[in-house]
Structure 1
Amino acid sequence: MNKKTIIMPALAALMLFLVISLASACSCIYLENTQAKLDNAAYIFSGEVIDIQTSEAYANQEMQEATIRVINHWKPSSFPESVNLKVYANRDSDANCGYNFEEGKEYLIYAYLDSETNKISTNSCMGSLELDKAQQEIKDLNGLTNSTNPNPIPNQNEEENVFSKFFSWIRNLFS
């Protein structure tokens, strides 16, 4: 048997396999450093996934609608203080660069506003990660945005002082 008759079909099959594999693989430029992720994302926040639903298909892809209780935020600066956000992501597969959230887990999320759906969205190329693996990145974000705690928890004593001062002012007003 001629070597060409064996090698040529084998090479053709290998090439076909590689082309199909590459065509269905996620292709994106992963942003390696926090500054690049900060520049690329429209929204950067941390939060806990409190609910996950399957959303309507978009571009023939099943979407994951994650409701996230926001803990902290870095971008934009006018982020609501206390909010539950719905974040959309393609279900994870090699083909669509999807990102799978898990209910009950906390994440550092880099997201964008999808111009076609007008929904806050993310994918595996954005650089989101589980919060317990994001401590260095959070330090970097705090330094890059000149923030040490984007959503500080009010000091209970300060609240009591304001409350006390208000009532003292009212008492003085009527005495």
Structure 2
Amino acid sequence: MKKAKLFFLFIFIGMFLLGSFPAVTSACSCAELPTAESELERSKAVFSGKVLDIKDRNANGYMTKSVIFEVTNTWKGVEESQVIITTGEGGGDCGYPFIEGQEYLVYAIESDMYGGKSLVTIICDRTNKLSTLQNDLEVLGEGEPPTKKVDLSSTQNQTEFYIWIAGFLAIVVALTIFLLNKQAKTDK
């Protein structure tokens, strides 16, 4: 009976681990880029800023990038001095290829496209290097500097911390079960 319980426990853990890493596929096809006016209207956030940090993430089976920006100017939806934008890895998932240290004009929508609800931008948006979007800046007019000073660098590492804690706890539970079963066998 105990062997059956142990067997089912290992099956359950194995199925849980297999189900935690599903294969996700996607494809990206963009029509013509919208105008700056229509993109401003459609977007939840429009700002210019410099990329401070880029982290790879696994959100609900999607490989994504979490990008922290130091906001220079804002036209819509952002009051903070730093903001996190989510995008895909690139290629078929529409992710934008941000480069750390570069300045961008970002048009972002609120979406759950890459897992949890967050500000998202993709290659089909007008987001691009700031130096290439001078026409957009003329249409947008003068932006406002952010009004709330924040530091989001610590939030980038929280997920990794929780993954380590969960892994450690799983090992402790498995080791405890193993030792209890071993002790039960020696008591017989």
Uncovered stretches (5+) of structure 1, i.e. residues with no partner: 1-22, 143-147, 153-175
CA contact (8 A) 2:88 2:94 kept: yes
Hey, what's the Cα distance between the residues in 2 that align with 1:118 and 1:133?
Answer: 29
Runs of 4+ deviating beyond 4 Å: none
TM-score, L = length of structure 1: 0.62
Which residue of structure 1 lines up, in the alignment, with residue 54 of structure 2? 52
CA contact (8 A) 2:44 2:108 kept: yes
Matched residue pairs, number? 121
Letter in 1 for 2:138: K
**Residues 1:84 and 1:35: Cα distance change in structure 2 (over 3 Å):** same
**Residues 1:24 and 1:149: Cα distance change in structure 2 (over 3 Å):** closer
CA contact (8 A) 1:49 1:66 kept: yes
Which residue of structure 1 lines up, in the alignment, with residue 37 of structure 2? 35
Letter in 1 for 2:89: R
Equivalences for 1:1-175 in 2 at 5 Å? 25-58=27-60, 60-76=61-77, 79-80=78-79, 82-93=80-91, 95-115=92-112, 117-142=116-141, 148-151=142-145
Hey, what's the Cα distance between the residues in 2 that align with 1:26 and 1:123?
Answer: 9
Partner secondary structure for residue 100 of structure 1: coil
1:25 Cα offset (Å): 4.7
TM-score, L = length of structure 2: 0.58
RMSD of equivalent CA atoms: 2.3
Q: Which has the larger radius of gyration?
A: 1
